[in-house]
Structure 1
Amino acid sequence: MATMKAIATNVGPTIMCAEVRGHSLFTDLPEDKGGFDTAPLPPETLCGALANCIGMVIAITCREQGIEYAGMTVEVEAEADDAGNKLDNFEVTIAMPGELSEEDRSIVEQASTESKVRGTVMSGANVNVTVR
């Protein structure tokens, strides 16, 4: 199994920056929660990661199958539980740029299930924490 790694560093009072393969991903709190609202909340980036991952798998599949996908959008909404420590009830809406035949719709629907981020969310992955 391939290993993926991110290292997040506190770069401001409420701002974190995760480094992933030389790319920077920032998160912050909104002003009403004591932050500066310079970046999305971490759970919002999870919604974004899910949308991006599903979209990438669909794009690759559509390119291979000759299905038009340029301009496709993937919208993800999720609910925060009452305790505020978990997202649930993810709703994913995929808008393709044109009408799809039933066969192409089936291909896109199948591709949407092959996202690593979706698989991770669906499986309830293990998270082990070590404090040094």
Structure 2
Amino acid sequence: MASEAGVVRDDDVATAADHLDVDYLSGEQYEITVRGHRVRVDQPTGSGGADEAPTPTELFVGALAACVAFYAGRYLTRHGFDRDGLRVRSDFVMATDRPARVATIRIVVHPPAGFPAERTAALAAVASHCTVHNTMQHQPEITVTVG
């Protein structure tokens, strides 16, 4: 992990060789496999699923919140604070018009007890520059093909 002008960056930045696979399981369930790890996704029962796993959209928001937490945690450690008690909460609202998408995401970083109030702006600045948030702010080129 490197720091540049107070911005924390991942050392595990994806390369062109990085990939993940998604395989159909049953009903509305799929399994994501990445580096040997497996994560299932499903849909709520009202949407045809069995509600046995988060939806892909929930994982998307969860990835953002987890990335914010990672950066916040690294900030805390770098400045001598304990991570115990660090919590990140995220709320999101789906758009009511087309195309289907997340319209708003609100993320709140709850630092550990005793974290000094005068450091909250710096913590927020670092946390808001996580890799996932940066990607959302600078949209990647996305190509979908059938092959």
When normalised by structure 1's length, the TM-score is 0.90
CA contact (8 A) 1:68 1:98 kept: no
Does 1:50 find its partner at 2:77? no
1:2 paired residue number: 14
* Aligned residues with identical type, % of pairs: 23
CA contact (8 A) 2:85 2:113 kept: no
Question: How many residues of Structure 1 are paired with residues of Structure 2 in the alignment?
Answer: 132
Whole-Å Cα distance in 2 between the matches of residues 102 and 96 of structure 1? 10
Map 1:8-19; keep pairs closer than 5 Å: 8-19=22-33
The corresponding residue for 2:39 is 25
CA distance in 1, matches of 2:140, 2:94: 18
| Structure 2: gaps (5+ residues) | 1-12
Using the TM superposition, name which of 65-74 and 55-64 deviates more.
Answer: 65-74
How large is the Cα RMSD of the aligned pairs? 1.6
Which position in structure 2 is the counterpart of 1:111?
126
SS of the aligned residue for 2:108 comes to strand
Hey, what does 2:107 align to over in structure 1? 92
Counterpart amino acid of residue 33 in structure 2: E
Question: How far apart, CA to CA, are the structure 1 residues paired with 2:39 and 2:52?
Answer: 12
Cα distance, 1:71–1:100 mapped onto 2, change above 3 Å? closer
Q: Which residue number in structure 1 is paired with residue 116 of structure 2?
A: 101
Counterparts of 2:55 and 2:116, CA distance in 1: 38
Deviation track 1:12-54 (CA, whole Å, cap 9, x = no partner) reads 1210101011111110011111111110110000111111111
Query: For residues 14 and 27 of structure 1, what CA distance do their matches in structure 2 show?
Result: 8
Q: What is the CA–CA distance in structure 1 between the aligned matches of 2:54 and 2:102, rounded to whole Å?
A: 15
CA gap of 1:129–1:9, structure 2 versus 1, over 3 A, is: same
Deviates further, 56-65 or 103-112 = 103-112
Counterparts of 1:59 and 1:28, CA distance in 2: 30
SS of equivalent to 1:11: strand
1:58-96 per-position Cα deviation (integer Å, ceiling 9, x unaligned) = 111211111233121111112211236211221111111
Mind listing any 5+ residue stretches in structure 1 that lack a counterpart? none
